[in-house]
Amino acid sequence: MNRRGISIIIPCFNAGRYLIEAVSSVHEQPFECLYECIVIDDGSTDPETLEALQEIEAAGDTKVVRMKTNKGAQYARNVGLRSAMYDYILGIDADDCLNTDPTILKLGTYADRAIQVLEDRPDVAFTYSITCMFGNFNGYTISAYPVTATQILHKHHAATSIIYRKEDAFQAGLYNESILKWQDWSFAVSLLNARFKQNKGNEIHFFETPYYLYRIHDNPSRISSRNVSERKFTKLTIEQNIEIFKSTFPGLNVDEITDKVMGSKPDKLTDLLYVAANNIQTALEMAKQRGYRLTSDIEPTNIP
């Protein structure tokens, strides 16, 4: 039975100092749709997190699923997906938040707007929005521009905070638990490949509104801080979604496709140019936030 609404899944491992803020940001959303907030405790051990989980559970408005041992974020996300009651899914990291600023939400919540797009347009694979950083650094992430499925396959960024159909996630085989880094990109690729194999559209809808807040902090255990081989996990993603990659890179074997994908990953200047092509004001704000300056080691100083 279809259930129109959104299940918001928050995997948590020893992130208690941030978890209550993440959960509160969900419940403070002025949703028009039905929703549920699911926290997956991935075997947390530190007292601060255990206390936060107990407080959240006692409040009674959040489903808390406890795992006895740490299995990793991908496993925890899959536990959340299997327990989700609604048709649409949004993932939030335990140290991040949804934006609760009323001026940002005046056109509707991220979930309400995304569900409407996904209902009206079956050709859309998923939606995402601008992400704004906070904490140790404030400003937009470098991926603040619309991407296409083809760009995703060329290693453009895919966000944690995409909103997608639960049925597509199950068709894709859920999150790949062997992917230890670049998990968001790998999962987005798997959604695109599952839809490609069913001859469904793979449009991606972008909201030029900072609905998602990404916390910058010095936690060395954060997945993005892990020192692992990007090529290894890129190749694994390609192997497991070979149909769409073979279509995009005809005549190439897996290693050759991996080289192409790795070689086409945009650097920060290229990303900034994509931002500027979409919205010059956003690009100028981003350049100012980051203190960017155009310099060159080879350009003569006497040319205009």
What average pLDDT score do residues 15-21 get? 97
Round to whole Å and give the CA distance between 222 and 215. 11
Domain boundaries, the chain: 5-290
Q: What are phi and psi of 30, to 5 degrees?
A: -80, 65
Q: Which of 113, 151, 152, 157 is nearest to 131 (CA)?
A: 157
Over residues 244-265, the mean pLDDT reads: 98
Q: Per-residue pLDDT for 225 more than 60?
A: no
pLDDT for the residue 218: 86
Token pair, residue 275, equals: 């931002």
Which pLDDT score, from 0 to 100, does residue 264 have? Answer: 96
| pLDDT-above-70 percentage for the chain | 97
Whole-angstrom distance, CA of residue 176 vs CA of residue 174: 6
Reported pTM: 0.94
Token readout for 228 is 């692992």
Q: Where are the alpha helices (DSSP H) in 60-138?
A: 73-83, 110-120
Q: Supply the mean pLDDT for the chain.
A: 95
At residue 75, does pLDDT exceed 70? yes
pLDDT digits (tens, 9 = 90+) for 144-164: 999 999 999 999 999 999 999
Residue 222 confidence (pLDDT): 52
Range from 34-38, 117-121, 140-144, 193-197 carrying the lowest mean pLDDT = 140-144
The alpha helices in 15-109, defined as continuous H runs, are: 16-27, 47-59, 73-83
The residue among 293 and 249 whose pLDDT is bigger is: 249
pLDDT digits (tens, 9 = 90+) for 48-66: 999 999 999 999 999 999 9
In the predicted model, what is the mean pLDDT of residues 112-127? 99
- Percent of the chain, pLDDT > 90? 90
Q: Residue 144 and residue 105: Cα distance in Å, rounded?
A: 18
Q: What are phi and psi of 157, to 5 degrees?
A: -65, 140
Question: Cα angle at 241 between 237 and 244, to 5 degrees?
Answer: 125
> Residue 226 has what pLDDT?
58
- Does the pLDDT value for residue 203 go beyond 80? yes
For the domain made up of 5-290, the CATH class stated in words is: alpha beta
pLDDT for 220:
55
224, pLDDT greater than 70: no
d(CA 93, CA 58): 21
pLDDT higher than threshold 60 for residue 174: yes
Half-sphere exposure of 153 (CA within 13 A, CB side): 23
Q: In whole angstroms, how far apart are CA 23 and each of 99, 122, 225, 235?
A: 12, 30, 24, 35
